[in-house]
Amino acid sequence: MSKHYDLVAIGTGTAASMAASRCRSAGWSVAVVDHLPFGGTCALRGCDPKKVLVGAADAIDHARRMRGKGIGGGEPAIAWNDLLKFKRSFTEPLPPMKEKNFAKNEIDAYHGRARFCGPNSIAIGGEVLDGRFILIAVGAVPMHLGVSGAEHLITSTEFLELDQLPQNIVLLGGGFIAAELAHIAARAGAQVTVLEQADRMLTPFDPDLVDWLMEKFREIGIDVRLKTRVTAIEKAGGNLTVRASSNGNDEAFRADLVVHAAGRVPDLEPLDLAASGVESDKGRLKLNEFLQSVSNPAVYAAGDAATSGPALTPVASHDAKVAAANMLNGNHEKPNYLGVPSVAFTIPPIASVGLSEKQARENGLKFRTQKRRASDWYTARRVAETVYGFKVLVEEVTDRIVGAHLVGPHADEVINVFALAIQKGLTAGDLKTTIFAYPTGASDIGCMV
């Protein structure tokens, strides 16, 4: 016998939790389903635990940069096992806390893998849940690489649970995950190699600023191999070998650990979408502008599963609010991704918001570019950081900020000011005449525009 709800949300991460809470507050009966510990990727296996590790790596890096500039004593080092224990102080309490909060708010929580068994029905083991609406908020999983020996890879989730860090690590991929894990592992003393098929790393970011950041990769000993395609992973005893091809030449890389950091895709395959009548194309749900399935009006999606906006936690939260509003009151809200900032937490971080130069030209905008390598500015010199710079795009006619690209100290915080400027239509003049606290990273903004 099935149980009936107004909303069944598949997932317990940011998007599912937000939508479930909003619909429950409106008086709806709500259930959530997750086969993983409750809490979602960001809080348990992504953003939050990763940032704890980044914080330690940043502290070590800062201390090393300041040697001979007021910092003495022995060589600073990361105590990896202690760091992981600290990280777990954030992640381990969360699943039971989430379950308690669901119960407190009278949201029924189910543990298990959800799959559709009808247009409005979800099966979890031997139970069936019928929902007036279904929200797909399942998050993402590492994409299938299709290479021999892929079973020998570990994921970023498993990397964040390593009790000890191996000496030689190979990372497959050149995006956010690879860049961030490479910087953490290198600061912790590992020998790190990154293998990337494209001709540069961090392709969502401005190429000039990425080039500046790559100097830091080289400085800390990360071996980055571009235009390199992995063909196989082999294991003999406790040793791993990654075989790759680059410019027609075959190469072999020895490793103690090989990490899949080559991107993630929505975790849709186990849902059996065919049973629900929900259409997809190449692993992406077919949605309308209201985040609703084009083929099954009872189904909405949010976050990574929706793939409508950038794959970022704040976007998942925004999607959830939009989807909840449309389920509660009929389709009237559309997601707005204008001015969503993006950060890769390398050390130093690199950040971007708005249009790139290429996009601005393709859009036919007339704009001026403010660009500078600013390693000689006080913000960088004070912390002995050699990588600092910016590129800001300002529309000529309106003086509005249309794009901002930063790398260096405080870039992860300062980018939010530029995001606000883009979202609210602020001009370069507005930013120039703003009095910022000094000396802070934001106090450089007036000189960036």
Higher local confidence (pLDDT), 89 or 311: 89
Residue 63's pLDDT is 96
Query: Who contacts 307 (Cβ-Cβ below 8 Å, separation ≥6)?
Result: 266, 284, 285
Two tokens at 214?
A: 């790559």
Q: Do 293 and 285 touch, CB atoms closer than 8 A?
A: yes
Q: What is the pTM of this model?
A: 0.95
Instruction: Express each pLDDT in 59-74 by its tens digit.
Output: 999 999 999 999 998 8
Task: Determine how β-strand 168-172 pairs with β-strand 257-260.
Answer: parallel
Arithmetic mean of pLDDT, 46-65:
97
Two tokens at 260?
A: 């899949």
In this model, does residue 75 exceed pLDDT 90? no
Residue among 351, 319, 337 at smallest CA distance from 416: 351
Arithmetic mean of pLDDT, 276-290:
94
Residue 237's pLDDT is 84
Query: Who contacts 254 (Cβ-Cβ below 8 Å, separation ≥6)?
Result: 168, 239, 240, 241
Residue 196's pLDDT is 98
- Band (pLDDT 50/70/90 cuts) for residue 238 is confident
Higher local confidence (pLDDT), 324 or 1: 324
Q: Do 327 and 302 touch, CB atoms closer than 8 A?
A: no
Residue among 254, 354, 311 at smallest CA distance from 140: 311
Query: Who contacts 449 (Cβ-Cβ below 8 Å, separation ≥6)?
Result: 370, 392, 394, 401, 428, 431, 432
In this model, does residue 1 exceed pLDDT 80? no
Q: Do 185 and 300 touch, CB atoms closer than 8 A?
A: no
Delineate the domains of the chain, giving CATH numbers in brackets: 3-142+265-329 (3.50.50.60), 150-262 (3.50.50.60), 348-448 (3.30.390.30)
Instruction: Tell me the C-alpha distance between 260 and 258, whole Å.
Output: 7
Cis peptide before 37 (omega within 30 of 0): no
In this model, does residue 374 exceed pLDDT 90? yes
In this model, does residue 248 exceed pLDDT 80? yes
- Note the maximum CA span of the chain: 72
Residue 105's pLDDT is 97
Q: Do 246 and 194 touch, CB atoms closer than 8 A?
A: no
By percentage, how much of the chain surpasses pLDDT 90?
95
Q: Do 305 and 266 touch, CB atoms closer than 8 A?
A: yes
3-class secondary-structure state, position 319: helix
Residue 173's pLDDT is 97
Instruction: Express each pLDDT in 188-209 by its tens digit.
Output: 999 999 999 999 999 999 999 9
Arithmetic mean of pLDDT, 402-418:
98
In this model, does residue 412 exceed pLDDT 80? yes
Mean pLDDT in the chain? 96
